[in-house]
Structure 1
């Protein structure tokens, strides 16, 4: 028993050394060889398992596809950011974590007994009627659309653009200070007579937004506030359009047009003059103190400092501060679409939609 525990410790230590090594010094050939080796091992391992053929075939196919995707990822990211140490190391960390994907697949299928997905036999295929195919036509079309969306979203240009932007972010310190001008606050204060604040929920089509949508499965992945119906005072947490540092920034409607089917939904929420002033004053305080986009918080759901937020977290915090929040949820868990979907008491009034 002691020998077994000792052997496991040696194996775990070796694995940790390997992962640290490839993260710090790994290059494209090393990652590709590792991916292919793990895939080959998992395929051979699967062929020897006591599993039905209808389970083995999808597993082997999955390992093959994963290996291709892993190699494509490594080829497009490893070594592409040599001028930015942080982004380069982050890409290696992600690439190293991807080595474990085949093991996760096996665990998901075998350990959790999820063997209920399989490729149909020839006999089963023959029993599928044309009527069934006709009834499932829309489902098949949606599935193909979903596959094409994933393929476009994970294209090398999108991934490279997203990773190249990572070095501009910080989840631990304030990097944006004073991006909102005195003119902006003059415009905001001029709207105090307007008895509404406006929620702007957008489908911008940016590379980061498209990748986020793969995980949220939502079309709209950005939330902003505006103090006027004409959207001259839009503000939110964003990437700064490579003009300002990521954090609290003013926005323009034109900047939401990053793809052909981009769209913006505008809702109004009734507020008092005092409540609106509270939000404006808080934004002015954040602008003066400093801010940063909570990139890490998209995963961890927490902020290390008060003014480090992401877009929907910011909007929810402002509404809560002014006591006009209409649903209860931890700020770090709020998604842009929650402002619409969780409006059980019909506090919002739809104003209009912008299509580009």
Structure 2
């Protein structure tokens, strides 16, 4: 069996290649070129070519930037225009890394894929092989994989399951390897300097100004575009008020930004669509652990599934989830039961 290790040029995927090789697997390295006009393209491919020569593994680079633009970048712009706050990394995983790139590695003769995600796959007696949080909880990326089909994940390897991020560079150095991209990747890989507002202005006809109002309809200011704001935001509103105001919601039909005091940020639940089930809900525990943001502790929730959408009822106080973000569902052990895209709060 040949395993294709997806190498981005960063430290994590390069270490994954090292570990898979050391474990005796028949491996190849595959770099998916996702970004158009990327000035680092030549440096990355040259660096990966040299690293693969040291390791004695074949290297392939495949140009997928047109597919990436169509499947990830264009929806990112479209969702922001619609007033959502999308999560492009969570979308990229099922559509690109475990979609288009997975198909490409199969054409190259590989049977499965390995990536540098900090997650694990574990066998469970009742549900089979499951996606589980990685050992380094500070870097766990299971949230971003919750929209990937379990069938694809069962053809995947995650060599960093038990690795701690702080040890990665030292291990590579011991092997005489330097990643072509030694620094941490930016928040959104295709947005220069992490300035998503400038990116959106360059790539889309974004909606203009409108009123800022309280829940009772009182107008307290003007916004310069709903796409510039997200739920829970406090800074940058430019409103002088008797108490601190936060973004509570977006009234899309009326192009209005709804703000209020901090206590109005709490939500009793949310609805998620585009559901990806890793375990049928009939096998879920009565109480699941729900994570609605990457940097958030999963919290207990009840749920209902109607065959299309998941409705969650929070058991303890929960900040209002953001439409467009991912709702990842776990059991108490950290195994992922499924995921969906948040549509609205209750």
- Give 1 or 2 for the bigger CA radius of gyration: 1
Structure holding more helix per residue: 1
TM-score category, normalised to shorter length: under 0.3
Structure holding more strand per residue: 2
